[in-house]
Amino acid sequence: MGDTELGNGTQVPSDPRAYLAPTRALLAAPIVFGNLEGTMTTATTSKCQPPSPTCYAFKVPPSFAAAYRWDGFTVLNAANNHAWDYGAPGVAQTTAALTAAGITEAGLPGQVGVVAVHGVRVAFVDFAPYYNTNNLLDLSSATQMISAAHREASIVVVYMHAGAEGPQADHVTRTTETFYGENRGNPYAFAHAAVDAGADLVIASGPHVLRGLEWYRGRLIDYSLGDFANYYDFATVSTLRLSAILRVTLSATGRFVAGRFDSLVLTPSGQPLPDPTGAAATFVNQLSREDFGARAALIGPDGVITAP
């Protein structure tokens, strides 16, 4: 899944399990990954000092970690622009909450999340365009991290929090993308470099909108899974309300075996619900064809992703 945040401290769901419950059945898998957009902390001093209408700081109580685990999450990403919303105390308390809930964290500087399923080691190497995360703007260091993970684990999944934001940012531009004057990286170049360095699967979020799927050297790249959940913090209109769950089965050597794309739709509160109309899949297929042509990874009417 993509960006997942359940509030800004003053406004959070009273029952996070009930809020996440509509997707729980779809998250039955050995490994369930998402981007944790924000913190799990009781800290009170945020980065938004003084307050500004363009500054967002997200936090939920540390107890919410148990709700994420209940919903199925086993790995959560910290490589994004909100991991440090409440400074070092917020980061430390978030890490402690995830650890206590049995959730693996990835994406802080030098941090690789490794989980084992049926004796197979799977490494999550996560990046964002910031110095206080694994930095995708430092391509040399990033590819070295991916190569090292490839030597230590049977399967390497690379996540990138990259690209511009908003409804006009649904296409992969193949150039450096900026937002609010900030360098958000070149998602296309980074994803290809990640596969070249040993990634078996590349997934992404950050633009708050879905992007296309591409095959590159037999590996699947999802350029944005959009928002999985956002509790009253982002717009849920037009294409911003479309979301998805990407399900990928890989062999013990990282080879693509099967894939499925489950369409979701966000309610006005940002709650994800299964969408039987498949609107998200239709939208992503359009983007994939336009951006990648013959290399597009296409989703069938049943949600199945066609192998290359």
| Type of residue numbered 108 | L
User: What's the distance, Cα to Cα, between the start and end of the chain in Å?
Assistant: 22
Which residues does 13 contact at the CB level (< 8 Å), separation at least 6?
6, 7, 19, 231
Quick count: other Cβ atoms within 10 Å of Cβ 132?
A: 15
What is d(CA 178, CA 183) in angstroms, rounded to the nearest whole number? 5
Question: How high is the pLDDT of residue 233?
Answer: 85
Mean pLDDT in each 10-residue stretch from start to end of the chain (308 residues)? 94 97 97 98 95 91 98 98 97 98 98 96 98 98 98 98 97 97 97 98 98 98 97 89 98 97 97 98 98 98 92
The three-state secondary structure class of 235 is coil
- Superfamily of domain covering 3-295: Metallo-dependent phosphatases (3.60.21.10)
CA dihedral 252, 256, 258, 262 (to 10 degrees): 110
What is the reported pLDDT for 26? 97
pLDDT at 234: 82
User: CB of 59 within 8 A of CB of 100?
Assistant: no
Give the type of residue at 45.
T
pLDDT at residue number 251? 97
The predicted structure's pLDDT at residue 81:
96
Provide the pLDDT for residue 1.
97
* Extended beta strands in 6-103, E state: 33-36, 39-40, 59-60, 75-77
Burial of 112 from C-beta contacts in 10 A (0-12 / 13-18 / 19+): buried
**Is 237 exposed, middle or buried (CB count within 10 Å of its CB: 0-12, 13-18, 19+)?**
exposed
Per-residue pLDDT of 7-36, as tens digits, reads: 999 899 999 999 999 999 999 999 999 999
Nearest to 162 by CA among 197, 132, 196, 130: 130
| 27 close to 34: Cβ distance less than 8 angstroms | no
Q: Supply the pLDDT for residue 307.
A: 85
Q: What angle do CA 195, 197, 201 make, to 5 degrees?
A: 30
Q: For 202-242, how does the pLDDT look when each residue is reduced to its tens digit (9 = 90+)?
A: 999 999 999 999 999 999 999 999 999 999 988 888 999 99
What pLDDT does residue 150 have? 98
DSSP annotation string for 64-82 = HHHHHHHHT--EEE--STT
Instruction: List, for residues 75-86, the tens digit of each pLDDT value.
Output: 999 999 999 999
Residue type, 128: A
Residue position matching structure tokens 């609107």: 279
pLDDT at 6: 97
